[in-house]
C-alpha cells in the first residue's frame, strides 16, 4: 500500500537513512538533512514540525509548510512538502509542492503517486497548487501532468503547472 505520512518529531532511523540517499539538491528541490548526523536530523525534525505550525511569511520565501513521507508498505520511498501559501517570490521560482524520490526507487511510478497524493492533501488544506518544474526534468513534468496539472506557462527555464 502506498500512502503519505505526515512528518512527526518521532520519525526514526528509516527516514534518516532515506534522507541520506536523496541528494542535497536536485532540480531546485533541497534536502536539508543530507549529510547531517543523526542528532542534526532529530533537531531538523523539530524545526520542520514547527514550520508546519508557523503563521506568516519570513523574507518573502519562508512560509508555513507541511512535510510528508511517501511510504510503500513499511518502507519510506520519498518525501514531499506543501507550502500553505505562495508569495510572489515562490510563484516565480518555487511553487507550493515539492518532492523527491530516493534514487534507488526511481522509475517505478512513485513520482506520479507522490504528486497525486500531495495535490490531494493540498486541496484538503485549501492551498493554491503550483508546481514549478525545471526544463529538462521530464519525469517531474510527466508526473505533474499525470496528476491533472496543466502547463500555465513556460518561462525562465521552468514549466509552471497549475491544478
Establish if 160 belongs to a structural domain.
no
pLDDT at 136: 93
Tally of structural domains, the chain: 1
Domain span at residue 80 reads 2-127
Establish if 134 belongs to a structural domain.
no
Establish if 50 belongs to a structural domain.
yes
CB 84 within 8 A of CB 64: yes
pLDDT at 29: 92
pLDDT at 56: 78
Closest listed residue to residue 19, CA positions, set 3, 42, 46: 42
Distance, in Å, from the CA atom of 34 to the CA atom of 27, rounded to the nearest integer, reads: 15
Establish if 17 belongs to a structural domain.
yes
Grid coordinates representing 57 are 511569511
CATH number of the domain where residue 36 is located: 3.40.630.30
Establish if 143 belongs to a structural domain.
no
* Stated pTM of the model: 0.94
- Residue 108's CB is within 10 A of a number of other CB atoms, namely 12
pLDDT at 49: 96
pLDDT at 64: 94
Establish if 15 belongs to a structural domain.
yes
Closest listed residue to residue 50, CA positions, set 65, 39, 37, 35: 65
Helix (H, G, I), strand (E, B) or coil at 124: helix
Q: What is the pLDDT of residues 7-49, one digit of tens each?
A: 999 999 999 999 999 999 998 899 999 999 999 999 999 999 9
Establish if 46 belongs to a structural domain.
yes
Low-confidence stretches of the chain (pLDDT < 70) are 60
pLDDT at 60: 67
Establish if 151 belongs to a structural domain.
no
Amino acid at each position: 500500500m502506498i500512502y503519505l505520512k505526515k512528518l512527526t518529531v518521532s520519525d526514526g532511523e528509516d527516514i534518516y537513512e532515506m534522507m541520506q540517499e536523496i541528494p542535497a539538491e536536485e532540480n531546485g528541490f533541497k534536502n536539508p538533512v543530507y549529510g547531517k548526523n543523526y542528532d542534526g536530523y532529530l533537531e531538523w525534525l523539530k524545526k520542520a514540525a514547527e514550520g508546519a505550525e508557523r503563521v506568516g511569511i519570513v523574507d518573502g520565501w519562508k512560509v508555513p509548510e507541511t512535510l510528508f513521507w511517501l511510504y510503500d508498505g513499511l518502507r519510506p520511498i520519498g518525501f514531499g512538502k506543501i507550502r500553505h501559501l505562495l508569495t510572489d517570490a515562490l510563484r516565480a521560482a518555487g511553487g507550493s509542492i515539492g518532492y523527491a524520490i530516493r534514487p534507488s526507487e526511481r522509475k517505478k511510478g512513485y513520482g506520479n503517486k507522490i504528486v497525486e497524493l500531495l495535490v490531494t492533501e493540498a486541496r484538503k488544506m485549501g492551498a493554491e497548487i503550483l508546481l514549478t518544474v525545471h526544463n529538462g526534468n521530464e519525469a517531474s513534468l510527466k508526473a505533474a501532468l499525470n496528476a491533472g496539472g496543466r502547463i500555465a506557462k513556460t518561462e525562465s527555464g521552468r514549466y509552471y503547472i497549475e491544478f
